Structure formats: structure tokens, C-alpha cells
């Protein structure tokens, strides 16, 4: 699994786990902000970015690989892990597998509720799949995900490289994910976020996550949809920093 590493001499480890269809570049603004004080690791999950080496993506396998990376790089360090969307599902699996490995976990926009008619939905998405090879369509998609012009070419190139089989498998993993029973055993301090403009199923997912572990706190981000860290990097960074350093959360969901 390919990863980038920054500030390895710093005393606390911060791991960023990207969403589906993108890769480690989605965290560039966070790495730029935090790498002067934190040891930052930014992996490309299997079948994403530079980790396209024939290893197929599964949430459980990605969780195992990133946990192993944390054990290797984070010895004696406070560990903070941040995941978005598919990466947030991976983070939930990581916490469930190694309940005492991570000190702070920020779970952003994780789907944990079954998607109605998921198979039919995936099949319908396959009709539009060929459009990812057109830049105009890619730009429309990028805009909906808060991807700015600096990264639209990278997003297009990575979308172009994904094949149908990988797309279907990743979507199946995403839409069928459920919170493992062992998640309740995680000792991490956990912050769960969702955008105010996200779908109801995402807000219900946040509620289920919060109810599944007593260490969870929830936060709804005003005026934002699916993509908090990309939509408003400055707010994302200060939200994360104030929670880690001062245990401050604005407008916590009760």
C-alpha cells in the first residue's frame, strides 16, 4: 500500500484516510496545516491512487493494512486518525479490530445504514460509468464533491483508470457496510461529523454510530454537503485541532 509521510520527527501521529474514487491528494490542505506539528501519514487505499498493484479493495483488508502501518510508525506516539466517506467506514473497521490502538478518531460522512435497492442502484450507475472518460462530465462530478480546479485533472485521471469490476466491488463494499459489534469496545475519543446538506440516510448513520459507542460525539456541519474537508479546509482543520487540543466542539449533537 502506497503512502506519503510528513513530519516524522513530531511526537504525535496523524493518519488521513481518503474517500472512494479519490486518493491521498484530497488531504493536501490538512497535511499542509498539520505537518509542522504532527507526524502525518496519508495512504492510498488498494485500487486507488498509487496503490493499483492488483490487490483488490475491501474495507476489512484496508483496515488491517492501515492498522499495521500505525503499529509500525506510531510506536510511543499519540495517534489521531481521520477518515472520510469510504475511508470513514474503513476507520470504523480499524477501531473495531484494534480498540486501543487509536487515541482520537474523526469519522466524517460514514454510511452505516443499508441502502435500499443497492444492487439496482449500482446497475443504474453502470449506465453512466462510461461518462467518467469525458472531462466535461468529470468536472461536473468534481464540482459536486467540492474538488477545486487545482485537483480536477488529477480526479479525472484517477477516475479514468478505474475499471467497471473495481467500481462495482467498491460500491458494494460501501453500500453494504454495517458497524461491527466490536466497535462498542473502542476506547478512542470519537468525533462523528455529517454535512447539513447530506442525505437523510447519512444523518441517520451518524446517529447510529453515536449510539454504538459511548465515547462518540456528533457534529452537523452547517451549509455543507458530502465533503467537509474539501468544501471548507480551514473550518475542517480548526474543528479537528480544537477538538484534539482543547476538547472543544461547537454545536454538538446531543
**Closest residue by Cα to residue 92 from 190, 171, 24:** 190
β-bridge mates for residue 105, sequence order:
81, 190
Torsion angle, alpha carbons of 143, 46, 110, 102, to 10: -130
Q: What is the pLDDT of residue 253?
A: 61
Q: Which three cell numbers stand for residue 126?
A: 453502470
Is the predicted pLDDT of residue 252 greater than 70, yes or no? no
Which of the residue ranges 17-26, 160-169, 202-211 would you say has the lowest mean pLDDT? 160-169
Mapping DSSP onto H, E and C, the string for 148-185 reads: CHHHHHHHHHHHHHCCHHHHHHHHHHHHHCCCCHHHHH
Q: Supply the pLDDT for residue 50.
A: 93
Q: What pLDDT does residue 18 have?
A: 98
Average pLDDT, the chain: 93
32-36, 91-95, 156-160, 214-218: which range is least confident on average?
156-160
How many residues are present in the chain? Answer: 254
Given a cut of 90, is residue 116 above it in pLDDT?
A: no
Measure the CA–CA gap between 32 and 36, rounded to whole angstroms. Answer: 8
pLDDT value at residue 224? 96
Share of the chain above pLDDT 90, in %: 77
Residues 127-157 pLDDT 10s: 777 777 778 878 888 888 999 989 999 998 9
Q: What is the DSSP string of the chain?
A: --EEEE-TTSSEEEEEE--TT--GGGGHHHHHHHTTTSEEEEEPPTTSTT--SSPPP-HHHHHHHHHHHHHHH-TTSEEEEEEETHHHHHHHHHHHHSTTT-SEEEEES---SPPTTHHHHHHHHHHHGGGGGSHHHHHHHHHHTT--HHHHHHHHHHHHH--HHHHHHHHHHHHH----GGGGG--SEEEEEEETTS-HHHHHHHHHHHHH-TTEEEEEETT--S-HHHH-HHHHHHHHHHHHHH---TTEE-
What integer pLDDT is reported at residue 124 of this predicted model? 76
The three cell numbers locating residue 79 = 495517534
**15, 19, 24, 27 alpha-carbon torsion, rounded to 10°:** -70
Whether the pLDDT of residue 53 is over 90: the answer is no
Q: Shortest CA distance to 240 belongs to which of 191, 187, 168?
A: 191
Average pLDDT over every residue of 113-119: 81
Strand pairing category for 216-221 and 252-253 = antiparallel
For residues 162 and 47, the answer to whether their CB atoms sit within 8 Å is yes
Centre a 10 Å sphere on the Cβ of residue 243 and count the other Cβ atoms it contains. 19
Q: What is the pLDDT of residues 160-198, one digit of tens each?
A: 888 888 988 999 999 999 999 999 999 999 999 999 999
Amino acid at each position: 500500500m502506497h503512502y506519503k509521510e510528513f513530519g516524522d520527527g513530531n511526537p504525535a501521529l496523524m493518519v488521513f484516510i481518503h474517500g472512494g474514487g479519490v486518493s491521498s491528494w484530497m488531504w493536501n490542505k490538512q497535511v499542509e496545516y498539520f505537518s509542522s506539528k504532527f507526524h502525518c501519514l496519508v495512504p492510498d487505499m488498494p485500487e486507488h491512487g498509487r496503490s493499483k498493484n492488483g490487490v483488490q479493495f475491501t474495507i476489512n483488508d484496508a483496515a488491517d493494512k492501515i492498522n499495521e502501518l500505525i503499529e509500525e510508525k506510531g510506536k510511543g506516539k499519540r495517534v489521531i486518525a481521520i477518515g472520510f466517506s469510504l475511508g470513514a467506514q474503513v476507520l470504523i473497521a480499524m477501531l473495531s479490530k484494534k480498540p486501543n490502538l487509536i487515541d482520537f478518531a474523526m469519522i466524517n460522512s460514514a454510511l452505516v445504514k443499508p441502502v435500499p435497492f443497492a444492487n439496482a442502484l449500482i446497475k443504474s450507475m453502470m449506465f453512466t460509468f462510461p461518462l467518467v472518460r469525458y472531462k466535461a462530465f468529470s468536472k461536473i462530478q468534481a464540482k459536486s464533491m467540492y474538488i477545486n480546479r487545482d485537483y480536477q485533472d488529477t480526479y479525472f485521471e484517477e477516475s479514468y483508470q478505474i475499471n467497471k469490476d473495481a467500481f462495482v466491488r467498491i460500491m458494494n463494499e460501501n453500500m453494504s457496510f454495517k458497524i461491527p459489534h466490536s466497535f462498542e469496545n473502542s476506547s478512542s475519543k470519537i468525533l462523528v461529523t455529517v454535512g447539513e446538506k447530506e442525505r437523510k440516510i447519512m444523518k441517520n448513520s451518524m446517529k447510529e454510530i453515536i449510539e454504538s459507542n459511548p465515547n462518540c460525539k456528533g457534529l452537523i456541519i452547517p451549509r455543507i454537503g458530502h465533503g467537509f474537508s474539501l468544501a471548507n479546509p480551514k473550518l475542517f482543520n480548526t474543528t479537528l485541532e480544537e477538538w484534539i487540543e482543547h476538547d472543544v466542539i461547537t454545536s454538538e449533537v446531543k
